[in-house]
Structure 1
Amino acid sequence: MGIYSILDRNLVTLALVSSCAASEYEYLSWRADAYNGGRGYGKPPQCVDIPDDLRLCHTVGYNQMLLPNLLEHESMAEVKQQASSWVPLVHKNCHPGTQVFLCSLFAPVCLDRPIYPCRWLCEAVRDGCTPIMEAFGFPWPEMLTCDKFPQGEVCIAMTQPNATEATRPTDYSPICPPCDNEMKTDTILEHMCASEFAFKAKIKEVKRENMDRKVILQKRKMIKMGTLKKKDLKKLVLNLKNGADCPCQQLDNLTPQYLIMGRKVDQQFLLTGIHKWDKSSKEFKKTIKKLKTYKCPAFENVF
């Protein structure tokens, strides 16, 4: 069932709810205290156009949004900044409802009252996307805790919660997000921005350890030092989180040189991206040139 049919149904439901007792209607009211400590708003929500450069939600299926949004972003600049960090997760296709779920919060559809995403949709997206996020060292954020969202009829959804098991992460083919071999500039830059350091290197050895794979490097040439220290470089081993059994053709062929990216999480160094160093690829050469001047967005979560 598409988002339009859900919204149509919700419009009808809203009309029914509005004729009920006030307490029932208040369930849909603008509840700032439900998010991030309840920061107050200086002005009531307004309906504004979704701008072209709000990449996360520009193609979501409707053209206008409420501002402030349901995550307490009061300006469009703040919405753009925070929403941009989630674009790479949508690109990973970890759940078909990821964009609708996120945009129902970042860019709520314009109705008389804000409508929250259904709790089961949040849970399905969380369960499908958490393994992807963990591969890059990011937890599911507190601001998206699913028990904050309604279980009733009036909520944003994609499909019926029990209509299919296909949305469960176990039904997806095993994937290694850092091993995405798509030679597109945007993809490589997204991996770079999810990383603290990067270098050109050859792989000496790959070992399996529990559910991870450990990547031992040789002949490194730094591109981005980040938080790494010289002592870290002496015995640098990268971990492909939960990657013991997922396909990664780069780690099956140790002959080429690779563009390798990573970040430190707790006491581990995670492998967050690996791309063949291919000088014959115009796209790759363009990307490497762009890396020298590219400024990553400055937010907490980038995938």
Structure 2
Amino acid sequence: MLPKGGAWPLLLLWVTPGLLSREPHPSEYDYVGFQPAMVRHYQSGRFYSRTPQCVDIPQDLALCHGVGYRRMVLPNLLDHETMVEVKYQASSWVPLLSKNCHPSTQVFLCTLFAPVCLEQPLYPCRWLCEEVRDACEPVMQYFGFPWPDMLRCDQYPNEDICIASPNATQASSPRKTEVCPQCDSEIKADSLYEHMCASEFALKVSIREVKKDSENRKLLLRKKKALKKGPIERKDWRELVLHLKNGANCPCPQLEQLTGQFLVLVRKVKSQHIITAIHKWDKANREFNRFLRKVKKSKCPKPHSVFM
């Protein structure tokens, strides 16, 4: 198991003597390629239609751009064989980073979505997975999602060589307020756009009434307009009700006054339309205006299959 201290790029170097024929210089750690004999056996003997290769982490892979290295393996450790699939699947997790549920969330996820280029696969440590899961799953449940089976922690090494993080033992930053996670995101144009692309629905709405429903809140709408409209039957669209999951007893400042309009990001979970973020429709906010301009100029990646 890798040490918990030191800089993230160095964690990658500390394991290379056992994997490579020579110890790379720090400036070249992210350029390590594959030996031909290793290619067909990469990722525990799995075979792919594409030969594993090192590629640059693209700037629009928002989850992992700037993670601490510049090159990644494709196919990755989640069996995504194309960059289009990697980008779309990874975009689903971008909103979780803004919640600061654990300081190593990005390192853990990018170990799998954008694994560093080495001759053999290098997985996250099991204890790192468990720490991130235990800290972030309660937040995910506000969005109606459990910890996914594809990230099951018992599949990762416990004592063998694995990736840790220098931040793993640090406490997560305390939340400034105890507001509902769906309501506490600061508006940043780029992250809001990524969140919108990860959502099935992006709506401009006016709210008629908010009702408590057990542990949740239901938003009854007066008007709605789709910036992004996922698959929905015409009848369901007319009668659309939005659910603030586990939001009955936590504050949501945006809903204290129902006047004006709101931007609501939504995903359908089973039969319910679950809110993942809600913001006041505030054109006086510079970042919100940047977001609106980006919506007009850019197109989200074509949907694939996605967890969140």
Give distance in 2, aligned partners of 1:46 and 1:287.
Answer: 35
Distance 1:70 1:271, change over 3 A: closer
Counterpart residue number, 1:299:
304
Q: Given residue 3 of structure 1, which amino acid in structure 2 is its aligned partner?
A: W
| Structure 1 position 154, deviation (Å) | 1.3
Matched, 1:97 2:104: yes
Matched, 1:192 2:196: yes
Counterpart residue number, 1:59:
66
Q: Given residue 65 of structure 1, which amino acid in structure 2 is its aligned partner?
A: M
Distance 1:159 1:209, change over 3 A: farther
Distance 1:283 1:52, change over 3 A: closer
Conserved? CA contact 2:91–2:194, under 8 Å: no
Decide which of 148, 162, 167 is 1:141's aligned counterpart.
148
Conserved? CA contact 1:136–1:194, under 8 Å: no
Give distance in 1, aligned partners of 2:107 and 2:134.
Answer: 15
- Residues 152-193 of structure 1: CA deviation (Å, up to 9, x unaligned): 1411011597x56x35x9x75645333245333223323433
Give the % identical residues.
54
TM-score after normalising by structure 1: 0.76
Conserved? CA contact 1:55–1:84, under 8 Å: yes
Structure 2: any 5+ residue segments left out of the alignment?
Answer: 21-40
| Structure 1 position 118, deviation (Å) | 0.5
Distance 1:293 1:156, change over 3 A: same
Q: How many pairs are equivalent?
A: 282
Matched, 1:120 2:127: yes
Give distance in 2, aligned partners of 1:257 and 1:269.
Answer: 19
Give distance in 2, aligned partners of 1:53 and 1:243.
Answer: 32
Give distance in 2, aligned partners of 1:302 and 1:186.
Answer: 21
Which range is displaced more, 208-217 or 117-126? Answer: 208-217
Counterpart residue number, 1:158:
165
Give distance in 2, aligned partners of 1:294 and 1:150.
Answer: 41
Counterpart residue number, 2:95:
88
Matched, 1:50 2:90: no
Counterpart residue number, 1:259:
263
Decide which of 6, 10, 23 is 2:11's aligned counterpart.
6
| Structure 1 position 148, deviation (Å) | 1.0
Decide which of 281, 291, 302 is 1:277's aligned counterpart.
281
Distance 1:261 1:68, change over 3 A: closer
CA RMSD of aligned residues (A): 3.4
- Residues 96-116 of structure 1: CA deviation (Å, up to 9, x unaligned): 111111221222223342221
Conserved? CA contact 2:242–2:272, under 8 Å: yes
| Structure 1 position 254, deviation (Å) | 1.7
Structure 1: any 5+ residue segments left out of the alignment?
Answer: 16-28
Counterpart residue number, 1:20:
none
Per the alignment, in what secondary structure is the counterpart of residue 216 of structure 1?
A: strand
